[in-house]
Amino acid sequence: MEPYQDDPRWSVAERVAATARRRFPADVLAVAVHGPLAHGDDDGGGDSEVGLLIATYRPGTGPRPATRRVDGVLVDLTVTAADDHLERARSITALWPLVADRYVTTRALHDPTGWLPALRDEHLATLARARPAEFTGAARQAWYRGCAAHARAARLAGWYETDQALLMLGEARLAAATVNGLLGRTYFRDPGDAVRRTGLAGADMTEVGAVLARQAEELAARGRPVDGTVDDLLAG
């Protein structure tokens, strides 16, 4: 038995998988864990949540997505049609650095057809084929999200709405980290990993603004300027 299987979180994951298969025998194609438990190194800590994916044969079938504590273990259950999940794995979006790990690193609880390796291979093939413009285009979209959050944080701070300003600053940090991930073709395990690895975890308002400014310059140098015309806006 592998060491991670002694983890009580793994026991809960196995019970969820077994129950889902028993209740929805005609719907469940595969069940897997992702996140720290899938990596097997407890990066998120021994009390981190269990990320569970249930892939179904058809949309709208199987259990409902849910987040719940089970015997003291927080379980985040994602339920998706297998074909829809494969389609998402074939795309590079502004959230790619935060979702790619779920396609690449999983541990199977039920996968009789080998769907999980196919999911990983599809995503890796997408990365191999992706052109630089796909990553820079997605990075620009992430940059806009970060710029808006940073501007909102600054306004709130000026109004002495400190708590709200800190929340928006957190969003700006994460968006800026996502931009870095897209520009460097680097994905992260989770949002915390993203801001830690990009040095943005403790960045203040001024520092985040400086990072966003540098990113705008790099995007322009790569042919994706963040400022444009009305025609650019309407062209999508």
Determine how β-strand 28-34 pairs with β-strand 50-56.
Answer: antiparallel
Strand order in the sheet with 50-56: 66-70, 73-81, 50-56, 28-34, 107-110
DSSP letters of 141-203? HHHHHHHHHHHHHHHHHHTT-HHHHHHHHHHHHHHHHHHHHHHTT---SSHHHHHHHTT-TT-
Cβ distance 139 to 224 under 8 Å? yes
| Superfamily of chain region 3-129 | Beta Polymerase, domain 2 (3.30.460.10)
Q: What is the pTM (predicted TM-score) of this model?
A: 0.92
pLDDT tens digits, residue range 30-67? Answer: 999 999 899 887 544 456 789 999 999 999 999 999 99
| Stretch 18-39: mean pLDDT | 96
Bridge partners, residue 53, by sequence: 32, 78
Q: Domain residue spans in the chain? A: 3-129, 132-235
Residue 236 has pLDDT above 80, yes or no: no
